[in-house]
Amino acid sequence: MNLPKTPFFSVFKPGYLAFVAFGLFLDLTSKYIIITKMLAHESIPVLGDFFRLSLTFNTGFVFGLFQDNALPSLFATGFAIVFLIFYRWQNADLGNAWGWNFVMAGAFGNFSDKFFVKIPGVGFRFGFSPEKPGIEYIGVVDFLDFEWPDFLLFDRWPAFNVADSCVSIGIVILLLTMDWKELDKK
């Protein structure tokens, strides 16, 4: 495999990397605060039932793959990040750079979270399996919990976090800014 000809730091500019680092910091800090202040599966109404803080743990990967199995989920996420970095590097002109920055911030946030066992009300420790099931948890911390119209697939939107929000915002920016005709020529 050949590396792209474009210099790495012309695509991943220092300001962009600082933004990704800030997004990672914001995500992990918000998760830490939630872990230390809440109990597992606790919900706190913020705007009534419309918006709650609900501490949950997503133990899988995209679309629920590898549920309750930390290492395959970790490797799949790591592979996805490496793929995204090389894809972005190879296709530097595809989409808006800030869309990519949001996606990367979110990807790194959820990836980093998978390296820790969470202990609600206490904090976390490095590891991939709980020593005390029911007291310690693996998986990505999700806590933003919104109501969803009852006539759709489920009563509430699945809880999410800052990293998930970054990925979603980034994807929307990319979808709105990509030149799809140019992509078809490649």
Whether 68 sits among the annotated catalytic residues: the reply is no
Single out the catalytic residue among 142, 145, 155, 184: 142
Query: Judging by beta carbons within 10 Å of its beta carbon (0-12, 13-18, 19+), is residue 143 exposed, middle or buried?
Result: buried
Single out the catalytic residue among 27, 113, 145, 164: 164
Alpha-carbon distance 60 to 162, whole Å? Answer: 17
For every residue of 23-65, DSSP letters joined together read HHHHHHHHHHHHHHHS-TT-EEEEETTTEEEEEEEE-SSGGGT
Whether 179 sits among the annotated catalytic residues: the reply is no
Residues acting as catalytic residues: 142, 164
